[in-house]
Amino acid sequence: MRYIYLFMATVMTTLVFGQEHPNPENINNNKFRQLYQELPTPNVYRTASGAPGHEYYQQRASYDIEVELDDEKQIIRGKERIHYENNSPDPLRYLWLQLDQNVRAQNSDSKLINVERMEDFRSLGRVHRKMFEFDGGYKIEYVKATNGEAMNYAINKTMLRIDLEKPLAPGKTISFDLKWWYNINDRMKIGGRSGYEYFEEEDNYIYTIAQWFPRMCVYNDVEGWQNKQFLGRGEFALPFGDYDVEITVPEDHIVGATGVLQNQSNVLTSEQRKRMEAARNNDIEPTFIVTEEEARENEQTKTTATKTWKFKAENVRDFAFASSRKFIWDAMPVNINGNQIMAMSYYPKEGNPLWEQYSTEVVVHTLKTYSKYTIDYPYPVAISVHAKSIGMEYPMICFNGGRPQPDGTYSKRTKYGMLGVIIHEVGHNFFPMIINSDERQWTWMDEGLNTFVQYLTEQEWERDYPSRRGPAHLIADYMGGDKEYISPIMTNSESIWQFGNNAYGKPATALNILRETVMGRELFDHAFKVYCERWAFKHPTPADLFRTMEDASGVDLDWFWRGWFYTTDHVDISLSSVKWFQLNTGNPKVEKAFQKEQDEQADEHIGVTRNEKEIKETVTEKKPELNDFYNKRDIYKVDPLDEKEYQELKGRLTQDDIELLNSGKHFYELQFDNIGGLVMPLIIQVQFIDGSEEIIRIPAEIWRRNNYHVSKVFIFDQEVEKFRVDPYLETGDTDLNNNSWPREVEPTRFKLFREKQSRENPMQRQIRIEEMENN
């Protein structure tokens, strides 16, 4: 394909054609319009820059709790005193608390709202669950003022309202008491973020206890009282506060919890205390506080005596703990900018050998990496507890799966699954435990951001770590094609389809694309850190993230948020056509010779070819006298007038113009079509005939007027052999078949599998080597 074209432009030109997607409502549907209508109006609490406003406030809830774990009946019994500070400008007539355990009450809405068919009940376990046999809801014994007088309260499913005798005035604090108990759920039978795992062969339990006490709801400038019921998916929204918690458990249990242990001398042996002191001074490897051998011995005891572990935690939004006589316990310090943090792990022998080798090391690595990209980890401890089959996060403590086979072997998949879940759950300390977004409304704000930093952390753990989420190409299958039951990221937590891809994978990928492709690492990392610093120990909303990322980077990203977060569009940018041009030099000797060559090389119609043979003689061949000027003229011959006109042209041109005309530059006009709907930067790899290559990066704003069709002209010194769009798989393009010129067909997975199958395996290769050496 080659065209002759008189081309006098000296700059690259963008050609924009008319819109092919007319807007029937005659409203602005441009993908680059600002997000003014979608985002809330900035105010004194939250600014247009994405920072907290000068009148930003947040409530505070502190707790003194005494709790007893009944290891015989698997019951939690507790009483708590809540100190609630009203820092808002509003008087509060009533207070709302969360009763999240009521999600396991027998009349729970979470069971009623499940869409079901009979085929969903083909196992006994499912029938049992459907029969609502387990009652795990709160039994509230009292709600009292600190003077002992009963307070009026009402329970609405997973929420409890306390009606105050007189409104709680701005700046005032109220304290009150609750007493309650509930049955702990068998996590392995009926599920749950917390509960117990029973080890039948030795009659022991591991308790991982969370959402276990009535907790204050968030009251803020965005929603007033956060009053969305807990239906099981959208997690938690909690204010910060200080905790003093006393946990009474069987005497042979080891307890790990949010916060710092206050009474080591009462609950640890002198040997354990000595080991803990040694651990504080050994940052080379984890130090065992309780060894596997000791844990195995401990498993055999079944004491009825109890002891009380006392913990104190400051400025946290929640409190969780784990307790078992099965726990092995190790610890290692990590220094984050002068602050020593104890990274610790609690796990049963069933977790080994994986857990003793990796858990605490991974906690340390996670704290270091997240601190680099967000804020310095501010708490004194970070704990990873082994809980089969789940991953769940709380301040300073998380419950993580990853269990080897009973014979102690494990697959690579188990290993990387375990490393990934520990990184993820420890990472949740930052999102949402510190950068405290509302999980009940927006799962992606903590899961998505956390999965993004998880990816960065995994890649710093091991080169080519097999991250499941983060790289753009891994989200392509999910995003492409049919959109039924695919939700935009900006969807409430309870209404999301495909939770994992929507709230974890897609936002993490979006941030990764911003970092690697749209903004660049330096701008992104700065802006992301600013967001984390601005909203640490506060309650950010999506708008605060969107605005801060733009405010701190100087990059207008409204088009990106709109496309990736508010729509289900996908990336499919097609390189639809390529046209090749060269400048006409104006020199008749050059141009006429070139024209002759082109004409001789031109494809010939089949009729012309056949007529050459079949028409023996034409009329003008028989009678040459019929040929006139036009028949005789050699159009490729350079005549004196051609020469004269060329000299005149040269006289009008500057030396630069003449050099440009004679430069032999190649012009390529590329047409791009946006098939998937998401506007994205164009990343174009150009391979030249001499084997060299060039990467051209064009910002997404090339689509700013026409969102669906653009063209671009590139000028090169040499001929191009191949163009390829998105060569490094940066954008999540769902169809690579239309990304290349000349066209390249993306191989199917089956073809790749077949190619691999046809090759010899390493053992076969070794046999051939040995045969060769023997011969």
Partner 1 sequence: MKIMRIFLLFPFVLLLMSFHEYFMSFAELDYNEESNRLEVSISVTGHDLEEYMKEKDMEIVGLESCSTDPISMKKLAQVINNGFQLFLDEEKLQLDLVGLEVNTKDQATFYLVSREIDQPEKLKVRYDLLMNYFIKQQNKLTVFTGNKKEFYAFLKHKPERIIEL
- 46 DSSP 8-state letter: B
Alpha-carbon distances, residue 30 vs 41, 559, 679 (angstroms): 21, 9, 11
**Which lies closer to partner 1 via its Cβ, residue 240 or residue 741?**
741
Q: 55, 120, 285, 621: which one contacts partner 1 (CB under 8 A)? A: 120
Q: 72, 201, 484, 773: which one contacts partner 1 (CB under 8 A)? A: 484
Q: 28, 123, 304, 647: which one contacts partner 1 (CB under 8 A)? A: 123
**Which lies closer to partner 1 via its Cβ, residue 498 or residue 609?**
498
Q: Supply the minimum distance, in Å, between the C-beta of residue 124 and partner 1.
A: 5
**Which lies closer to partner 1 via its Cβ, residue 7 or residue 121?**
121
**In degrees to the nearest 10, what's the CA dihedral of 70, 73, 74, 80?**
-40
Q: 622, 632, 749, 759: which one contacts partner 1 (CB under 8 A)? A: 749
- Binding of partner 1 by 405 (CB under 8 A): yes
**Which lies closer to partner 1 via its Cβ, residue 287 or residue 501?**
501
**Which lies closer to partner 1 via its Cβ, residue 17 or residue 753?**
753
Amino acid at 29: N
Give CA–CA dist 8/262, Å, rounded.
Answer: 81
Q: What is the DSSP string of 144-208?
A: EETTS-B-EEEEETTEEEEEEEEEE-TT-EEEEEEEEEEEPPBHHHH--SSEEEEETTTTEEEEE
Q: Supply the minimum distance, in Å, between the C-beta of residue 773 and partner 1.
A: 29
- CB neighbour list of residue 433: distance below 8 Å, 6 or more residues apart: 316, 317, 318, 393, 394, 395
- Binding of partner 1 by 265 (CB under 8 A): no
Q: Which residues pair with 139 in a beta bridge?
A: 181
**Which lies closer to partner 1 via its Cβ, residue 407 or residue 603?**
407
Give CA–CA dist 89/53, Å, rounded.
Answer: 14
Q: Do 33 and 558 contact (CB within 8 A), yes or no?
A: yes
Taking CB under 8 A as the binding criterion, the range among 27-35, 137-145, 237-245, 404-412 that sits at the site for partner 1 is: 404-412
Taking CB under 8 A as the binding criterion, the range among 12-20, 190-198, 330-338, 640-648 that sits at the site for partner 1 is: 190-198
Within 13 Å of residue 657, how many CA atoms lie on the same side as its CB?
Answer: 12
- Binding of partner 1 by 353 (CB under 8 A): no
**Which lies closer to partner 1 via its Cβ, residue 123 or residue 601?**
123
Q: 54, 613, 743, 759: which one contacts partner 1 (CB under 8 A)? A: 743
- Binding of partner 1 by 487 (CB under 8 A): no
Q: Do 575 and 672 contact (CB within 8 A), yes or no?
A: yes
Amino acid at 731: T
- Binding of partner 1 by 91 (CB under 8 A): no
Q: 466, 699, 760, 765: which one contacts partner 1 (CB under 8 A)? A: 466
Q: 280, 468, 650, 722: which one contacts partner 1 (CB under 8 A)? A: 468
Q: How far is CA 99 from the centre of its chain?
A: 30
- CB neighbour list of residue 424: distance below 8 Å, 6 or more residues apart: 391, 393, 450, 451, 454
Among 202, 196, 198, 200, smallest CA distance to 300 is for: 202
Tokens of 498: 């495909």
Backbone phi, psi, residue 119, to 5°: -65, -10
Residue count at the site for partner 1 (CB under 8 A)? 62
Taking CB under 8 A as the binding criterion, the range among 362-370, 409-417, 431-439, 519-527 that sits at the site for partner 1 is: 409-417
- Binding of partner 1 by 122 (CB under 8 A): yes
Amino acid at 699: P
Helix (H) / strand (E) element for 47: namely: none
Alpha-carbon distances, residue 486 vs 472, 483, 497 (angstroms): 18, 5, 6
Tokens of 306: 């109890």
- Binding of partner 1 by 113 (CB under 8 A): no
Taking CB under 8 A as the binding criterion, the range among 137-145, 148-156, 384-392, 645-653 that sits at the site for partner 1 is: 384-392
> Contact letters (x/-) for partner 1, 489-528, by CB under 8 A?
--------xxxxx--x------------------------
Q: Supply the minimum distance, in Å, between the C-beta of residue 193 and partner 1.
A: 7
Q: Supply the minimum distance, in Å, between the C-beta of residue 128 and partner 1.
A: 9
Site for partner 1 in 574-633 (CB under 8 A): none
**Which lies closer to partner 1 via its Cβ, residue 311 or residue 416?**
416
Alpha-carbon distances, residue 355 vs 34, 194, 257, 352 (angstroms): 49, 20, 18, 5
Q: 91, 167, 481, 664: which one contacts partner 1 (CB under 8 A)? A: 481
Q: 215, 386, 424, 539: which one contacts partner 1 (CB under 8 A)? A: 424
Q: 188, 261, 590, 729: which one contacts partner 1 (CB under 8 A)? A: 188
- Binding of partner 1 by 189 (CB under 8 A): yes
- CB neighbour list of residue 558: distance below 8 Å, 6 or more residues apart: 32, 33, 34, 35, 546, 550
Q: 55, 477, 597, 690: which one contacts partner 1 (CB under 8 A)? A: 477
- Binding of partner 1 by 127 (CB under 8 A): yes
Taking CB under 8 A as the binding criterion, the range among 8-16, 134-142, 414-422, 611-619 that sits at the site for partner 1 is: 414-422
- Binding of partner 1 by 389 (CB under 8 A): yes
Q: Do 168 and 92 contact (CB within 8 A), yes or no?
A: yes
Give CA–CA dist 364/499, Å, rounded.
Answer: 29
- Binding of partner 1 by 198 (CB under 8 A): no
**Which lies closer to partner 1 via its Cβ, residue 241 or residue 404?**
404
- Alpha-carbon Rg for the chain, nearest whole angstrom, is 35
Alpha-carbon distances, residue 224 vs 241, 375, 438, 601 (angstroms): 19, 28, 13, 77
**Which lies closer to partner 1 via its Cβ, residue 100 or residue 558?**
100
**Which lies closer to partner 1 via its Cβ, residue 231 or residue 381?**
231
CA-based angle 158:315:260, to the nearest 5? 100
Q: How many CB atoms lie within 10 A of CB 422?
A: 28
Q: Supply the minimum distance, in Å, between the C-beta of residue 497 and partner 1.
A: 7
Give CA–CA dist 556/545, Å, rounded.
Answer: 13
Q: Supply the minimum distance, in Å, between the C-beta of residue 733 and partner 1.
A: 11
Which spans of this chain sit near partner 1 (rule: CB under 8 A)? 114-116, 118-125, 127, 187-191, 193, 389-392, 401, 405, 411-413, 416-417, 421, 424, 466-468, 477-478, 480-486, 497-501, 504, 734-735, 737-738, 743, 745-746, 748-751, 753, 757
